[in-house]
Chain A
Amino acid sequence: MPEHRHDGAEAPRVAVRKTHKLYIGGAFPRSESGRSYPVASADGEHLANAGMASRKDARDAVAAARKAFPGWAGRTAYNRGQILYRAAEMMEGRRAQFTAELSAATGAGRPEAEREVSAAIDRWVYYAGWTDKAAQVLGGSNPVSGPYDNRSAPEPTGVVGVLAPQEAPLLGLVSVLAPVIAMGNTAVLVASERAPLPAVALAEVLATSDLPGGVANILTGRTAELAPPLAAHADVNALDLAGAGESAADLEEAAAETLKRVLRPDPAVEWEADPGLSRIRPFLETKTVWHPVGT
């Protein structure tokens, strides 16, 4: 029963404010450092405080991603596709929230934000489709001069560090994360520094999409602080530098120390365009098997 004040008016309800946290190993922890930072909308209005991950959070995220890798890579391609499609379903259910957050973050009008949310949802469906088809396009039976059946098949490379694009905080975010996890890699993603809230909402979508904990780990905070430890981390197998900006060359150099695969940022990238296999292929290894014919 609502409490009544002596003047007869109902007491105002205490607001339930959201604490924006990180997403590591399927859980939503605060940063180990206890830090957070203010996030403003496109016109400078305070929106929320987001967690400010430290390099130790990045380390923990890599450990979670490594732990999740064998299980996720071992799922059937069809099953991974179902789970990615489930992410699309979950996003659809939160369309209003994504539209509002996107329009606050970028200053886009409602119809424009709606269009970007639709494109982001469709991108999950797009990569859900690729999960069990990429192997047929990128692998195959090789003609060899000998009595051998020779086949190549793509396999996930491992743990991928992903720097999400600073602009396009939703479509760009989904466009870099989905292709990495679609083929069985696990990801440690650093969200757009200026507009991290859509990434936090996406983490909540992933947590309810049957995606095993640790497959996608999402950190919010300073890209300049989180990217170098990820680039130098010996247990990270590849890097997507989409959101690296000026520091891309330095990060690539650090990554070379442990022979990571690196996807360089493309300054002319159009996130709306059909990406094809351009973001799938860089994070795969090719396994080739020779088998004697007739045995």
Chain B
Amino acid sequence: MPQTAIAAEQAPTNRALREFLHGLPGVDEVGARERAAGLATRSVKTTAKAAALDLAVRMVDLTTLEGADTPGKVRALAAKARRPDPDDPDAPSAAAVCVYSDLVAVASEAVRGSGVGVASVATAFPSGRAPLEAKLADTRRAVADGATEIDMVIDRGAFLSGDYRKVHEEITAVKEACGGAHLKVILETGELATLDNVRRASWLAMGAGADFIKTSTGKVAPAATPPVVLVMLEAVRDNLAATGRAVGVKPAGGIRTAKDAIRNLVMVQEVAGPRWLDPALFRIGASSLLNDLLMQRSKLRTGAYAGPDYFTID
């Protein structure tokens, strides 16, 4: 565990960043995979399962990121985030809706007064290939339209070629453009090749001021695999010890079943600690997951297996 972290205030040099990031202990890939697989075998039943399902619903960033998105679809999604299961008034709301930046105004109007946040992907999502000015303009516009959270992508090309300073500068610039909005930094771990890189990118993003580190855009496979989430949870835990700042984690992409979600919660509890079992510090980016969570809730409530015909499609 590193004793220090990257200081957010000063602009560090590439060399200082490389020294710090490459000085991080290497990740034992086999060990990480084993640990994640071991935690996935935990059995969570009855009251614990009911609590886990409700918590998972409260952590969902209900997402639609398609070229075919329309204001109507975003409104439907917002209605679902506010009241996921109309049959059950006890069902909690989702954490936020996550949309493209041009639909933020629609989403923020649709969730007004409900406590559901509006997250907007920005900075040339999903590739991150655009000039910094365009990325900042994208971010400012989303915040002005009412986004409470910004999901930015890092420049993977710069990261992989060792230009850590460029990545760091972009994150700090976007963080500044966010103003009061929370910044989630998408590492796109599916393109980072190794778990060592995932650890480095996590520390780089946290040092540059990220409020959350997020695994993926959902457009690249593999996305939020258990070992990746494990490494990121370790990073936020160690970052808290080193700096006193708690950064959140958001796995996104590939988490489709309630079982997967509960496995993630077990990992959160065991790796980062119970403090992270909170929508303020752990989110799950998903679209189809919510229905499975609702079906499992309904199974616990009624005793009968639920069917998708009884839940909205989007």
Contact = CB atoms under 8 A, between A and B. Distances in A.
Interface string A154-194: 00000000000000000000000000000000000000000
Given A234-B305, A235-B305, A235-B309, 8 more contacts: A59-B305, A229-B305, A232-B303, A233-B304, A234-B304, A235-B306, A254-B304, A258-B307
A59 B307 CA distance: 11
A210 interface: no
9 nearest A-B residue pairs (beta carbon): A235-B307, A234-B307, A232-B304, A233-B305, A234-B306, A59-B305, A234-B310, A234-B305, A229-B305
A257 interface: yes
Nearest to A254: B304
A59 B305 CA distance: 8
B89 interface: no
Interface string B32-69: 00000000000000000000000000000000000000
B308 A235 contact: yes
Nearest to B305: A233
Interface residues of B, number: 8
Contacts of A258: 304, 307
Interface string B271-312: 000000000000000000000000000000001111111100
A125 B226 CA distance: 49
Contacts of B310: 234
Interface in A201-259: 229, 232-236, 254, 257-258
A234 B310 CA distance: 8
A83 interface: no
A59 B295 CA distance: 13
Interface of B: 303-310
Nearest to B298: A234
Contacts of B307: 233-236, 258
B304 A229 contact: yes
Per DSSP, chain B at the interface is loop
Nearest to B304: A232
Nearest to A59: B305
A62 B303 CA distance: 16
Interface residues of A, number: 11
Contacts of B303: 232
A254 B303 CA distance: 11
Interface of A: 59, 62, 229, 232-236, 254, 257-258
Specify which of B303, B304, B308, B310 lies most central, judged by the most chain A CB atoms within 10 Å of its CB.
B304
5 contacts: A62-B305, A235-B305, A235-B309, A236-B307, A254-B304
Contacts of A236: 307
A228 to B, nearest CB: 9
A229 B310 CA distance: 17
Nearest to B306: A234
Contacts of B305: 59, 62, 229, 232-235
A163 to B, nearest CB: 17
Nearest to A232: B304
A62 B304 CA distance: 13
Nearest to A63: B305
A41 to B, nearest CB: 35
Contacts of B304: 229, 232-234, 254, 257-258
A257 B305 CA distance: 12
B119 to A, nearest CB: 31
A234 B87 CA distance: 15
A106 to B, nearest CB: 34
B33 to A, nearest CB: 24
B260 to A, nearest CB: 15
Specify which of B303, B305, B306, B308 lies most central, judged by the most chain A CB atoms within 10 Å of its CB.
B305
Nearest to A56: B305
A62 B306 CA distance: 11
A258 B302 CA distance: 12
Nearest to B308: A235
B67 to A, nearest CB: 25
A217 to B, nearest CB: 15
B39 to A, nearest CB: 20
Contacts of A229: 304-305
Nearest to B310: A234
B296 to A, nearest CB: 11
Contacts of A59: 305
A37 to B, nearest CB: 23
Contacts of A62: 305
Contacts of B306: 234-235
A254 B309 CA distance: 17
A229 B304 CA distance: 6
Contacts of A234: 304-307, 309-310
Contacts of B308: 235
A254 B304 CA distance: 9
B120 to A, nearest CB: 34
A257 B307 CA distance: 13
Specify which of A233, A234, A236 lies most central, judged by the most chain B CB atoms within 10 Å of its CB.
A234
Contacts of B309: 234-235
A226 to B, nearest CB: 12
A158 B124 CA distance: 43
A236 B304 CA distance: 11
A19 B309 CA distance: 37
A212 B303 CA distance: 31
Contacts of A232: 303-305
